[in-house]
Amino acid sequence: MRGRGGGRWSSCGRAWALLRGAGLLLLLLALLLPGGPARGQERAPRPPQHFELLYSRGVEAFSAGDFEAAVRYVEQALSSRRRLRDERLRCHLECGLPEPLGSARGTGPAWELRFLRALLERARCVRLCERAGQDGPEGRRGRAGTAGEPSRSPADVRRDFQRRMPYLQQAYSQINQMEKAAEAAYTFLMANPEHMEVPSHDGNTDTGGGAKLVDREAQPHLEYYREAVEYYEGYDFSLAIESFERALKEYFKADRECRLLCEWSENYGDNERVEKTDGFYEFIAGLYSQRLICEHECVRDLATWPGQLSPIENFLPLHYDYLQFSYYQVGNYVKALECARSYLLFHPNDEDVQDNVKYYESVLEDSMDPQTVKPREDATIFMKRHKLESELIKSAVVNLNIPYIEENYWTNDGGRQEENQVLSEMDSGMADAPEQSVGKQPVASLGQDFREGGPLLYSHVKFVYNSEQLNGTQRMLLDNVLSEEECRELQSMASRIMLAGSGYQGEVSPLTPNEKFEGATILRALKFGSEGRVPLHSARLFYDVSEKARRIVQSYFMLNSTLYFSFTHLVCRTPFSDQPRNRDDLSHPIHADNCFFDSKNNVCKKEFPLASRDYSAILYMNEDFEGGEFIFTGRDPETVTASIKPKCGRMVSFSSGRENLHGVKAVTKGQRCAVALWFTLDPLHRELERLKADEMIRQWNHEQSINPKDEL
């Protein structure tokens, strides 16, 4: 996308003027928000939604083995969540039609009063509409039997819905309702295709009894896009055009709905980031910026497959790119030119598409004036709005210190945006070797005959400690897994490919408010390498060292079956510059890798997707930071049984269960980077991105006429 370079300040100044000019609108929005705190009052946490309570009851029933109750509660939760969303959309659509806010524009002192009347009527309409839905028979039924607090946090429930956790599938199976179990399983697999081969959308998705399987949570714009790509790859360009056009229509409908839902948020009243010295306009503009950012992020939300962490790169522009070639294949050059020009709105410097435009113009110039063919209106309107949003958000970031980094999901060149931070300075007195507690602590019985001590496979890898020396079970510590040169190369690549909040649903500080988390998956690294945005050798190194670690873990713990990747993640932790020098919190709280640890009740609940993990490994890339020690604990999470100081090439590995509770101490200075690896013995739970990465490596090896390495 074209950069704004030297005009940055002038564009931000214009955007800031727009924000200030909308001051009355922003003030009234703040005053009319339901549940907004009065001056001097703290905002109380919002009560749990009905579907959150119902879902928590369902998970509790599932864990207790009451599968009929689990089905009942989870189905009610799904219905309640859909109903809540539909009601909000209906209310905001209906209340925006009778008297649009723009109709109140004018001059003179009466203009503000006319605007106020329109806004008050909008707010009254929305509130009455939403209350009517809550107080109706459906709303009352939804609340029945859900008194009390949910056992799962709203964030956990949200993540479960995004991942489509397979409780319904298993619960229906347990009560012998196999058709419904198959439908629930199919819905789960559409968001988690790595768990088995998923049937394609060819009309043959049926159960053994002939009933057609349906994805209960299908998003039309994604489904039409998937269908269109299949037609395109099958050279059926007429059907591809039909499906891509439907996909675009559904995309813009979904975009409108996504933006409407941003008008409702339980977070708009949170004032934790508001400074006491903020004035009238600063406070109101900051509040409105939250909604603006929410709407701007619809680009990411609509491009992300259910259950996936990263969006499809270049998603919306790809529709026009596919369409220009499809229309070309069927001989419709006017439509091909229209779509090519629409694509250039997103990528004005794409030389290939520029050449295509010239070709289409040359074909059409004998029969018409090609300059009369303009980009599509939907794409033009979308891009004008998107660019203005970007300018407004940049202005808010600069002038109000709004914590937001805009990711551009449409470009294929350029590096990530960096933040300049002054890190707190604090001397580190930690020794290089692991620290161990004086006495051994009891560990959980694994109930299996686990072994360890197998060969390390690589002569340069140095054995340091085994389970006994680390005061636990199924633990090992190695050095020299990476060389100094390899560490430097991985760190250099990391700074160019990482996303803030990667692996944590975009949350920049998911585990402690004092540190920023950034990360990148293996597939992202390889894509950057293939596009020339990072050295291909560096991306391949990330792939190779993770495979090297997998082989070592499988060999050392003497596993009788193949160890598969469950998740591969390069992650860095950096303290914020304003954090105290003597922090005593944890960078990563005490936890187990394959169950949710409840420290209050000292229990660890196995739930998807964590339950599929069997072994873990952390391969460290650097040591030029302070704090950040990896710690093991006993059954009592307060008792540290071993402490490990990271350094380049050091790797700690262990079984992923309750027997190996662990955490990370606060990083107080510098940046701590590592390759985090989780493995599974179940091939049905293999990492989807890893399978795609394997395919990319095979393709590169084939193109270069080389054989895969026997030893890395």
High-pLDDT (> 70) share of the chain, % = 69
**pLDDT at position 162, please?**
67
Spatial CA neighbour of 654 closest among 520, 465, 518, 519: 465
Element (H, E) at 261: helix 237-261
pLDDT at residue 80, as a whole number: 82
pLDDT score, position 151? 59
Contact (Cβ atoms closer than 8 angstroms) between residue 389 and residue 325: no
- The SS3 of residue 662 is strand
Q: How confident is the model at residue 100 (pLDDT cuts 50, 70, 90)?
A: low
Interatomic CA distance for residues 307 and 137, integer angstroms: 33
pTM of the model: 0.50
Q: What six digits make up the tokens of 26? A: 């922003």
3 state SS of 500: strand
508: which 2 tokens? 């920049």
**Whole-angstrom distance, CA of residue 614 vs CA of residue 657:** 7
Among 172-181, 539-548, 644-653, the least confident range = 172-181
118 versus 627: which is more confidently predicted? 627
pLDDT at 439 over 80: no
Q: How many residues does the chain have?
A: 712
Task: Choose between 200 and 632: higher pLDDT.
Answer: 632
Residue 379 has pLDDT above 70, yes or no: yes
With vertex at residue 640, the alpha carbon angle to CA 637 and CA 644, rounded to the nearest 5 degrees, is 125
Cα 474 from Cα 452, distance rounded (Å): 7
pLDDT at 141 over 60: no
Backbone angles phi, psi at 307, to 5 degrees: 85, -10
- Give the 3-state DSSP-derived string for 461-516, with helices as H, strands as E and coil as C: CEEEECCCCCCCCCEEEEECCCCHHHHHHHHHHHHHHCEECCCCCCCCCCCCCCEE
Q: So which residues are the catalytic ones?
A: 672
**How many Å apart are CA 441 and CA 632, to the nearest integer?**
11
In which band, very low, low, confident or very high, does the pLDDT at 161 lie, cut at 50, 70 and 90?
A: confident
Decide: 669 and 560 in contact? Cβ < 8 Å.
no
Provide the CB-side half-sphere exposure for 138 (13 A, CA). 16
- Residue 436 has what DSSP assignment? E
- Domains with residue ranges and CATH for the chain: 11-216 (no CATH), 224-400 (no CATH), 462-703 (2.60.120.620)
Dihedral pair phi/psi, residue 538, rounded to 5°: -70, -45
Higher-confidence residue of 27 and 165: namely: 165
Q: Cα dist. 207→167, 184, 199, 497 in Å? A: 19, 12, 11, 43
Query: pLDDT tens, 469-497?
Result: 999 999 999 999 999 999 999 999 998 88
User: For the segment 110-139, what is each residue's pLDDT rounded down to a tens digit?
Assistant: 766 776 777 777 777 877 877 776 655 555
Q: Residue 25: CB partners within 8 Å, gap ≥ 6?
A: 101, 115, 119, 288
| Averaged pLDDT score across all residues of the chain | 75
pLDDT value for 464: 94
The three-class DSSP label of residue 318 is: helix
Amino acid at 711: E
Q: What residue has token string 């030893």? A: 711
